Amino acid sequence: MSKYSNVAHYQDFTELEKILERSGNSYDMDLIKKAYDYAEKCHGDQRRVSGIPYILHPTSVACILGELGMDTASICGALLHDVVEDTPVTLETISKLFGVEIAKLIDGVTKISKIPYSSREEQQAENIRKMLIAMADDIRVIIIKLADRLHNMRTMDCMPEQKRRDKSLENMQVFAPIAHRLGIKTVKEELEDRSLQYLDPIGYKEIEDTLLMTEEGRERFIESIKEQIVEKTKDTIPNVFISGRVKSINSIYRKTIMRNQTIDQIFDVFAVRVIVDNVPDCYNVLGVVHDVFKPIPNRFKDYISMPKPNMYQSLHTTVLDKNAIPFEVQIRTWEMHYTAEYGIAAHWKYKLGMSGNDKDDDRLKKNIENVKSMILDQLEAEDATDIARNIRNDFGENDVYVFTPKGDVMNLPRGSTPIDLAYLIHTQVGHRMVGAKINGKIVPIDYKLRTGDICEIITQKSEHPNRSWIDICKTASAKSKIRQWFKHERREENIVEGKQMLEREFKRQGINLTEDEYPEFFKSLTVKKQYNTLDDFYAAIGYGGIQLWKIMPRIKEEYQKTYAHDIEKITVPQAPVRRKKESSGVIIEGNDDVLVKFSNCCNPLPGDEIIGYITRGYGVSIHKRSCTNVPDDLSKCEDPRRWVKAHWEEKTGETFRSTLQIIANDRTGFLADLTIKLSQMHIFIHTLNSREVKNGKAVVTVTIDVAGRDHLRGVISKLSDINGIEEINRI
């Protein structure tokens, strides 16, 4: 557990004293010592499961609260939190000895502990409602409870497996979302990471190992970014504090394992955080950052003018460094920083730090009132289920959590269907599925699951999957299980289907073979070699084991070699340029509302000089000005009026597909180096083809997504460093 290895599992009273002293806040140390002595006397020789004296648990909880900056009453509450529950001492005694305020806190914590946990949705909702009521009374109650949970997680190793899993699940479903809602990020992240470690130890370790392996490179990277920002701000903006940060393991986990991405594909595994004195400086730093690095359009978010519901404020932007490596920059003031880390707890921190200041006292009261009314608003929601949903929706924008009729919680990526759920439950459940019920009602099979749905899969023994499901379902695992079924169960069908698919694709690609030529051509086909018969080959296409877009470039090449003798020009499939929003990103002069498409001959990128050509019936096609299909002298060409001026719209957030032809020495490991380099730059690779040419050289064509011309330029310059590369050209 390297990330948290510096956290002591148990802390004693001396350490508590040190933490409180270090905080610079004013505490009633006499009362705190009195609470400690009393708790120690009450717990006597009680021991934790691990054999450690019990008193060290409440003391450690008090330490966590001290780190959060909580007040004297909270610290005393923490020290005494298990006294009423675990010893004969009554609440009245506590009240007499320590006052009503502290007694009330302990009462609240004890009540929360008694709320039984259940994975059934209705029960869970009711529990969260009870907790919210306790919170609305005094928010410090839930903060003490969160610290208690956190400390129990730190010392969970000696507990039985089942108990660790139960507690971890409860943290993920109830306590971490509450910590998030209160903005206490430090507690939320540690709770989640520690729970994840018990829920999926292997997945956790995989991410942790990867992070450790890349640690040094990451630190160097952040150091260089830091230097560049400091260089540009040192004369104009005072007190700029810059640090690097890595996402929590749980948030990387949600993005990688649940969304099937690799760590390299996550934009903000590392981020740079800039902290300054005041709000105007935040925007000044933003200007500098956008000046030094190239911003990725549509990744800028202003949470300063639009704070998140949990009070989080910062500016976020994602930019590219000179090697085209994207990274996130977060810019904020110190006050925003404390709120980001400690959330509602930050307000106690402030209050104590500035004791005697009425203005700050008022602000604290106002903030607590705000949170209270937010919670009360939620309580007024008619249905307790809604409250549970609201809270749960906070923790997983991109996941949905659904329940089986037995009450088990299943976790799927957003956009998943009952088919995905069926295959997640069991392969056989998927194969035999005939329909699904959501909350008791039958729904179409392509229904998009929502968090909180209770989903029942209806099965029938004699049934089997439908080929169309492959396109309907969302998860890769369901798709592959359906394909497997067809592979084994429907050979004849697959052969027919595969043959038709291949013939359709041949037609589309302009491959024309006569009946006589067919068998001869197929005999020579290298992609077919691993299949014993042509039928096997067709069958593989039919069930999806071979994907046509992957093999077609090769087939086309061989076709040209054999029949057209035109092997000079390498062609790769050029899918239409993907667009995320309606706008094409291009402005055609004099034409506002015209269909725009990007030519495949030169694949223009934002930043390229471009020109439009009015086609017959397909709108305007955009070419690079330098494209060979564009006449050099437009005034002398056949139909000059069809060429129109075009330029790029200022901000486009799309990615563009670009194909590179790379000529290199054909050494072993070259392709591996190339793909590693691309993935380090977070570049998505669509297709990659390589073939040998004479003199020990290889020609590689690779189709990738880039953000624009400058991005592509950065990518090319980075690739040029690879040993053995001779030439890189855009085609």
Q: Which of 553, 551, 606, 557 is nearest to 577 (CA)?
A: 606
Minimal distance, residue 53 CB to Mn ion, in Å: 14
Nearer to Mn ion, 66 or 498 (CB): 66
The catalytic residue among 21, 85, 362, 492 is: 85
In a 13 Å sphere around the CA of 209, the CA atoms on its Cβ side amount to: 6
Cα torsion angle, 613, 615, 620, 622, sign: negative
Nearer to Mn ion, 82 or 121 (CB): 82
254-273: which residues touch Mn ion (CB under 5 A)? none
Q: Considering the rule CB under 5 A, would residue 145 count as an interface residue with Mn ion?
A: no
321-340: which residues touch Mn ion (CB under 5 A)? none
438-457: which residues touch Mn ion (CB under 5 A)? none
Number of residue whose CB is nearest Mn ion: 148
Q: How many CB atoms lie within 10 A of CB 488?
A: 10
Cβ contact 341:352 at 8 Å: no
Which range, of 145-153, 237-245, 377-385, 596-604, touches Mn ion by CB under 5 A? 145-153
The catalytic residue among 37, 86, 639, 726 is: 86
Amino acid at 66: G
185-199 vs 56-68: helix crossing angle, rounded to 10: 130
Q: 3-class secondary structure for 468-528?
A: CHHHHCCCHHHHHHHHHHHHHHCHHHHHHHHHHHHHHHHHHHCCCCCCCHHHHHHHHCHHH
Nearer to Mn ion, 82 or 170 (CB): 82
Q: Residue written as tokens 């630190």?
A: 219
Which range, of 142-150, 313-321, 494-502, 545-553, touches Mn ion by CB under 5 A? 142-150
Nearer to Mn ion, 145 or 316 (CB): 145
81-120: which residues touch Mn ion (CB under 5 A)? 82
Minimal distance, residue 215 CB to Mn ion, in Å: 34
Q: Considering the rule CB under 5 A, would residue 148 count as an interface residue with Mn ion?
A: yes
Minimal distance, residue 126 CB to Mn ion, in Å: 23
Nearer to Mn ion, 148 or 420 (CB): 148
86 is catalytic: yes
Nearer to Mn ion, 48 or 647 (CB): 48
- Give the Cα separation of 37 and 31 in Å (integer): 10
Minimal distance, residue 57 CB to Mn ion, in Å: 6
Minimal distance, residue 39 CB to Mn ion, in Å: 11
Which range, of 144-152, 223-231, 308-316, 422-430, touches Mn ion by CB under 5 A? 144-152
Read out DSSP for 261-279?
--GGG-TTSEEEEEEESSH
Q: Exposure pattern of 494-520 as b/e (b: 16+ CB <10 Å)?
A: bbebbbebbeebbeebebebeeeeeee
Minimal distance, residue 378 CB to Mn ion, in Å: 27
Q: Considering the rule CB under 5 A, would residue 56 count as an interface residue with Mn ion?
A: no
157 is catalytic: no
Minimal distance, residue 85 CB to Mn ion, in Å: 8
224-253: which residues touch Mn ion (CB under 5 A)? none
Nearer to Mn ion, 84 or 304 (CB): 84
Nearer to Mn ion, 45 or 582 (CB): 45
Query: What DSSP state is assigned to residue 605?
Result: -
546-575: which residues touch Mn ion (CB under 5 A)? none
Strands 315-320 and 301-302: antiparallel
Which range, of 7-15, 21-29, 148-156, 710-718, touches Mn ion by CB under 5 A? 148-156
- Give the Cα separation of 85 and 96 in Å (integer): 17
Minimal distance, residue 113 CB to Mn ion, in Å: 8
Cβ contact 470:423 at 8 Å: no
281-320: which residues touch Mn ion (CB under 5 A)? none
**Element spanning 441, H or E:** strand 441-443
Minimal distance, residue 353 CB to Mn ion, in Å: 28
Nearer to Mn ion, 60 or 494 (CB): 60
Amino acid at 523: K
Mask: binding to Mn ion, 68-87, rule CB under 5 A, as x and -?
--------------x-----
Q: What residues contact residue 559 under an 8 Å CB cut-off, 6+ apart?
A: 511, 513, 521
The site for Mn ion, by CB under 5 A, has a size of 2
Q: Residue written as tokens 């019936």?
A: 617
- Give the Cα separation of 117 and 175 in Å (integer): 11
Contacts to Mn ion by CB under 5 A: 82, 148
Active site residues: 85-86
